[in-house]
Amino acid sequence: MHKDFFTYQAQTTQFAAGFEVEKAEGSYIYGTDGKKYLDFVAGVSANTLGHSHPKIVNAIKEQADKYLHVMVYGEYAQDKPIALCKLLAEATPEPLEVTYLVNSGAEAIDGSLKLAKRYTGREEIVSFKNSYHGNTHGALSVSGNETHKREFRPLLPMVSFIEFNNEKDFDKITEKTACVILETIQGAAGFLVPDNDYLIKLKRRCEEVGALLILDEIQPGFGRTGKLFSFEHFGIVPDILVMGKGMGGGVPVGAFMSSRKIMETLSHSPKLGHITTFGGNPLIAAASYATLKEVLDSGLMNEVDEKEKLFRELLVHPKIKNINGKGLMLAVNLGSPEYTLGVAKKCMERGLIVFWQLYRNEYLRISPPLTLSMEEIKEGCQIILDILNEN
């Protein structure tokens, strides 16, 4: 399997681990080597409820027994996609009320940009330096790291970039701006959290000039920060909300959400303003509904603060410079990319899966399932501390 993986499956780097997976359950991934590995990454924030959660698995099985794909998005009424969209509307504040289901977070970003342009009739987009929104052409266009973009230009025109947490840049948001798009918590940059009232002031500026505010909650969404969506910590509601990753509990999904007034503009002049064949797939919607229902009903979000505190209490060491983030999305600064990658490799050898931040490789990524127990937190943190002590 290791040889065939590198022979036949396209790679994203020249140093993929090639770890051979046998099965995954709860907080653990089991390798074909007979070992189990405690997972502090959760498929890069995707496995909200851990691996093979029985409610998600059962929801998929039940739907598979009924039907799979029957029609392109938006034509037929199907139970699970409707239930998912209704539950999202009930769980989010006004004016968020209508959801467009797609296949991934990156597609949801592209759809949200189209929606903002269509609704406002404007062409300019403002995004943020060091942001990450995905790798489709549209999402890459509004991502703020030139190293990852340079070889794929030309990208979308009329996109400008401002600094996160810098109010002095607000004058670049004008009456020509269709939308401002940002991650509520910057992910690839090292889990950077907005300063006090920054988002409130940003939303106010958007309202002053008639621009829409798009919040990318693809990573922090679905309870990871102790709220269903992290914008709930900061006193605002976006005009357009983008979600993905943890939404499906381990299956590929994305969505963007807005008011009915804004969203309906994609249905006319021209019709099919956004169209997707497999968006709203009933199998995926069943898994997503089961995930959302469990996040809302289980009390797991109430445990997030306590779990974050335990991580911060345990991960104290001279080699740890600082810890960014909120809730169960934490970035541990180990000083240099080389050292951090070495620590991640040694953690894997000891049975702990950790990762690193896309742009800031000096930060060790910790984004475990919400279901991770306090004992598992202690177990994993001890492995990290032992490695820091030894190297």
The answer, yes or no, to whether residue 17 has pLDDT greater than 90, is: no
Whether 255 and 92 have beta carbons less than 8 Å apart is answered as: no
Q: pLDDT above 90 covers what percent of the chain?
A: 95
Average pLDDT, the chain: 97
Phi, psi at residue 35, to the nearest 5°? -100, 155
Q: pLDDT above 70 covers what percent of the chain?
A: 100
Tell me whether residue 6 is exposed, middle or buried, using C-beta atoms within 10 angstroms of its C-beta: 0 to 12, 13 to 18, 19 or more. Answer: exposed
Longest dimension (CA), the chain: 64
CA distance 373 to 145: 35
What is the pLDDT at residue 195?
94
Number of H helices, E strands in the chain: 13, 15
Split at pLDDT 50, 70, 90, the class of 270 is very high
Q: What DSSP string runs through 90-103?
A: HHS-TT--EEEEES
What is the pLDDT at residue 14?
77
Split at pLDDT 50, 70, 90, the class of 315 is very high
CA distance 139 to 156: 9
The answer, yes or no, to whether residue 59 has pLDDT greater than 80, is: yes
CA distance 345 to 340: 9
User: Residues 300, 305, 311, CA angle at the centre, nearest 5°?
Assistant: 110
CA distance 214 to 240: 5
The answer, yes or no, to whether residue 15 has pLDDT greater than 90, is: no
Token pair of 87 as six digits: 């539950």
Q: Positive or negative, the Cα torsion across 10, 14, 16, 17?
A: positive
> How many residues make up the chain in this entry?
391
Token pair of 116 as six digits: 């903002």
What is the pLDDT at residue 13?
79
Q: What DSSP string runs through 47-83?
A: -TT-BS-HHHHHHHHHHHTT-S--SSTTSS--HHHHH
CA distance 142 to 144: 6
CA distance 215 to 183: 6
Split at pLDDT 50, 70, 90, the class of 196 is confident
